[in-house]
Homo-oligomer: A and B are copies of this chain.
Amino acid sequence: MPIYKAPVDEALFLLNDVFHIDRYGNLPGFADASPDVIEAVLREAGKYSEQVIAPLNRIGDTEGCTRASDGSVTTPAGFKDAYKQLVDGGWIGISVPEEFGGQGLPATMTAIVNEYLCSANMAFAMYPGLTQGAIAALLAHAAPELKQKYLPKMVTGEWTGTMNLTEPHCGTDLGLLRAKAVKQADGSYKISGTKIFISAGEHDLAHNIIHLVLARIEGAPTGTKGISLFVVPKFMVGDDGTPGARNGVSCGSLEEKMGIHGNATCVMNYDGAVGWLVGEENRGLPAMFTMMNEARLGVGIQGLAQSEVAYQNAARYAKERLQGRAISGVKFPDKAADPIIVHPDVRRMLMTMRAFNEAARALVIWTALQGDIAHRSEDAKQRQTADDAMGLLTPVVKGVLTDTGFANTVMAQQVFGGHGYIAEHGMEQFVRDARIAQIYEGANGIQALDLVGRKLGKDGGRALMAFLNEVGVYIKEQGADEKMKPLVTPLGVALGHLQQASMWFMQNAMAKPDNAGAGATDYMHMFGLVALGYMWCRIAAAAQTKLPDANGAAAHYNAKLVTARFFMERMLPETAAHLARIQSGAASMMELPAEAF
């Protein structure tokens, strides 16, 4: 049975010592997030994750969801009770404004809590996760009466949310979508069409399900400019807020899939279902993107979360499993063999996962903080800078954290040898569950294109310049510190590669856009390495500051310094290979005709 321990102390170190959250006290909601409150919230979330939903992870996988002939869907044993506890704890709305029943705490707190939920039970965590995404879209775009009608119960979790984009013939290319909306005399719309891959589309956890649905209003333009966003409740909601008659939306079938079996992935049939417009007509895509940015950060967190729990289990196994003797000499002569953690290749895997997890967590928190500043600051310039950073980092967090997170679940499974391939240890489930995060909310190739094709050039490259400048200045400053020099020097090399790659795109992708597409994935991963390297420097600097008075915690801070060094030596050098690939351009990639494949 897999273990899981929520890394609360890691988050506290990052919030307090690395990012100094106390300096953001001027932002609404941050003053309420005193160190005590933060710690209490995170410990409680950790406990819930460890004790309530982690034990349900395996049963969720083996049992899965079942659909009855009437279209109702039953979640795995235990999910319903666990969900009730989630609602009772108020976990879904901790960052939602108080006027809608939330606690108004920083969204950064939600990001951290979601890591714990997703480590413990990713399939389960998707139910509240999708609700949070739907809440974000309604908050940003819905008319006041829609907000009042739907948000309070979604914020408590009594009702859950979904997002309905994909259709059988259209996923990435939403311009092709066919779901139809017909305006009614009362201002509502009748929605018809089929949506697929709808996570949490139907289930037995909540009293109502609030679907956000993309559809094309009769007569609207073709392509992406004719898409509108609608809210479609499973049960009609009366003016007093109580659910009434069933709406014309139902689950046609459940998908049989590789993992996240505990989450119901539905084909949803809309048959003249009543819906209400969210935002303006034909402006559905931008509205949905609000939700998707939130969701993309959330999916990046899933990548980290699966990597973390897989790492914890691999580390435990490596300390317990006796096999072979250390190449440097027997370590435990009284045992039949040494634990496999003595073997360098096992260490390599553990250190690789750990060096990723700690920096990735920092990157998530840093990005989430930018989101909080962008949404809450009174200072327009500060909002803009933070929004730039958030926009730039979101595809990196989504793409890199899920690609590397998945690779790490595979690595953790490898530590178990043959036992990792067997279901009972739970390692192969982490691999299967983590895999979806590279695909949904925009496949990672789309994230890379978003970064290179949209974010790099936006506003004259303002966001990129700011990032390059921030890291460059930091390297310069810290380079004067003898202890930091061995870390910032390799980071400087990697930053140089990122600058060269950015320059290469400017010079070679204008005339030949395929050159941008050809290098996009490499660029995203290179960007991720630089961002993670920057995080490691900031973590190491904080650890250096703490060390002199650390006493009993010295080993803890020292481990940060060793892991930072490992990252610089073993993981960061990959930027050179990314640069070489980017600079080779699109020629050999695009030369063959399609029929050659």
Contact = CB atoms under 8 A, between A and B. Distances in A.
Given A417-B171, A573-B581, A566 B588 contact: yes
A323 interface: yes
A597 B354 contact: yes
A514 B341 CA distance: 12
B431 A417 contact: no
A258 B431 CA distance: 10
A586 B344 contact: yes
A474 to B, nearest CB: 22
Nearest to A336: B176
Given A597-B318, A597-B341, A347 B590 contact: yes
Given A176-B323, A445-B345, A597-B341, A577 B573 contact: yes
A319 B440 contact: no
Contacts of A444: 414
A588 B487 CA distance: 13
A18 to B, nearest CB: 19
Interface in A352-369: 354
Interface stretch (A27-35, A92-100, A107-115, A517-525): A517-525
Given A328-B514, A597-B354, A422 B256 contact: yes
A424 B256 CA distance: 8
A559 interface: yes
A interface majority secondary structure: helix
Interface string A276-293: 000000000000000000
A423 to B, nearest CB: 4
A441 to B, nearest CB: 10
A26 B423 CA distance: 50
A351 interface: yes
Report the interface size class on chain A.
35 or more
A257 interface: yes
A596 B355 CA distance: 13
A496 to B, nearest CB: 15
Interface string A481-516: 000000000000000000000000000000011101
Interface in A403-459: 406, 410, 413-414, 417-418, 420-424, 428, 431-432, 435-436, 438-440, 443-445, 448-449, 453
Interface in A277-312: none
A121 interface: no
B258 A421 contact: yes
Instruction: Report copies per complex.
Output: 2
A472 B278 CA distance: 67
Contact of A418 (B166, B336, B431): B166
A244 interface: no
A410 B574 CA distance: 20
Interface of A: 166, 169-173, 175-176, 196-197, 255-259, 315, 318-319, 322-324, 327-328, 336-337, 339, 341-351, 354, 406, 410, 413-414, 417-418, 420-424, 428, 431-432, 435-436, 438-440, 443-445, 448-449, 453, 512-514, 516-518, 520-521, 555, 559, 562-563, 565-566, 569-570, 573-574, 576-577, 580-581, 584, 586, 588-594, 596-597
28 contacts: A171-B417, A256-B423, A256-B424, A258-B421, A258-B428, A315-B597, A318-B597, A327-B453, A344-B514, A344-B518, A344-B520, A344-B589, A346-B445, A347-B589, A351-B592, A354-B597, A417-B439, A421-B435, A428-B435, A555-B596, A559-B592, A562-B592, A565-B588, A566-B588, A569-B584, A570-B581, A570-B589, A573-B581
